[in-house]
């Protein structure tokens, strides 16, 4: 009788552990889903970091030299220096 009781308890314990493995909070599907979310977040972080580095570089360029400010004014705003003539060639 004692052997059957021990066997039954061990079998129930095994079933509970298997249930946790397949259906519980730390289950394999749940871990895979969290891993996919983590990979997506890492990719997003890499893109954000690259954008931040570009902006930091642009800010430092704008702080350091007048040439960068002048180039931005010419390209983005269409500004010209005094005495220059603006010529636009249409395609």
Q: Mean pLDDT for each 10-residue chunk of the chain (91 residues)?
A: 89 88 80 94 97 92 79 81 81 82
Residue 12 in contact with residue 19, Cβ under 8 Å?
no
Would you say residue 8 lies in a domain?
Answer: yes
- d(C-alpha 18, C-alpha 73), whole Å: 67
Q: Write down the pLDDT at residue 55.
A: 94
Would you say residue 45 lies in a domain?
Answer: yes
Q: Write down the pLDDT at residue 76.
A: 85
Q: Write down the pLDDT at residue 64.
A: 81
Q: Which residue range(s) make up the domain with 11?
A: 2-65
Would you say residue 31 lies in a domain?
Answer: yes
User: Which DSSP symbol is given to 24?
Assistant: S
Would you say residue 78 lies in a domain?
Answer: no
- d(C-alpha 76, C-alpha 41), whole Å: 33
pTM, full prediction? 0.51
What is the number of domains present in the chain?
A: 1
86: left (phi over 0), alpha (psi -120 to 50) or beta: beta
Q: Write down the pLDDT at residue 40.
A: 98
Written as six digits, the tokens of 30 are: 């749940």
Q: Write down the pLDDT at residue 79.
A: 81
């Amino acid at each position: 009788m004692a052997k059957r009781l021990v066997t039954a308890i061990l079998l129930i314990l095994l079933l509970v552990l298997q249930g946790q493995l397949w259906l519980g909070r730390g289950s394999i599907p749940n871990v895979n889903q969290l891993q996919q979310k983590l990979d997506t977040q890492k990719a997003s972080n890499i893109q954000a970091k690259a954008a931040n580095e570009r902006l930091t570089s642009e800010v430092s360029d704008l702080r350091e030299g007048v040439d960068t400010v002048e180039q931005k004014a010419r390209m983005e705003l269409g500004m010209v220096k005094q005495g220059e003539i603006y010529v636009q060639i249409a395609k």
